[in-house]
Every structure is written in structure tokens, then in C-alpha cells.
Structure 1
Amino acid sequence: MFIPVRACWLNLAEGWWRLLRRAAFAGQTFADATEIAHAVAAAATQLNAHAQPWVWGRSPPQPRTLRRTFVYLL
């Protein structure tokens, strides 16, 4: 699969669409486009109310406690 250079924001957009689809469309049936627009607006409002910054990558590893410590066993 080809991923374009300098397009990491696409991964963030895909995650946002996944959250929006799950919040707005999961288990619902719509009669017309007005209901779809209302569901999307309500889901976007709900997602924006609980928004948190995206943390890219892993958290840093814990520092080692025995680093550069010499232990002599008797």
C-alpha cells in the first residue's frame, strides 16, 4: 500500500471519520437527508464537547533504575 510523503494528517482524518460514523450512524436508519444532517451535526457537537489533543506515537520508555550501577555479590 502506497502512503504519500508528508500526508500523516490523512491518518488523523480517517480516525475522525471512524469516530463520527460510529457516533452518528451506528444502528440507525434514516428516512431522508435532513435526518442524516441532523445526526451528523449532533455527533459532531458531542465529539467536539469531549475533544482531547491527539498524541502521536508511543509514550517514552520508563528510565532504568539500575543504569550504570555496579553490584558486587559476596
Structure 2
Amino acid sequence: MNLQEGWWRFFRRDAFAGQSFANADEIERAMQVATAQLNHRAKPWVWGRPPKTRRHLHRLFCYRL
């Protein structure tokens, strides 16, 4: 899934879910409001998992004389 598909899912949910529109002006207004709301709470997309933390005591369980 690319960024466009993820954004469209959020946009469709916020702008169009459960609403009916009488004309194109209402659709345009719903799109403007939804875009403003999405931009207000926008965060950067993170691909994949974050890197694992480095273990400082890795393989320390050995015999010391």
C-alpha cells in the first residue's frame, strides 16, 4: 500500500462516511473540512519497524577468571 491509498482511506472515512449530499458544493465543503482536520493531526509516515535497540551486555554470560 502506498501513501496515497492510506491517505484516501482516512479522507474517505472523515469526509464521506455516513453523509448524504444534495449538491457538489456540499461535497466540496466536506472535502475542505476533512482535509483541514487531517492536516491538523498529520504525523510523518514511518515505513517498516523501528530498528532494534542495541544490547550492551550481549553475550556477557561467559566465564571470567
Cα shift at 1:64: 3.5
Structure 2 unaligned segments of length 5 or more: list them.
none
**Partner residue in 1 for 2:43:** 52
Rounded to whole Å, the distance in 1 between the matches of 2:58 and 2:46 is 28
- Give RMSD over aligned pairs: 1.7
Deviations 1:25-72 (A, max 9, x none): 011111111111100000001111111111111111233464121245
Tell me the matched-pair count. Answer: 63
Cα shift at 1:13: 0.6
Structure 1 outlier segments of 4+, above 4 Å: none
Between 1 and 2, higher relative CO (CA 8 Å, sep ≥ 6) is seen in 2
**Partner residue in 2 for 1:5:** none
TM-score, scaled relative to structure 1? 0.73
Rounded to whole Å, the distance in 1 between the matches of 2:56 and 2:22 is 62
2:10 is equivalent to residue 25 of structure 1: no
Structure 1 unaligned segments of length 5 or more: list them.
1-9
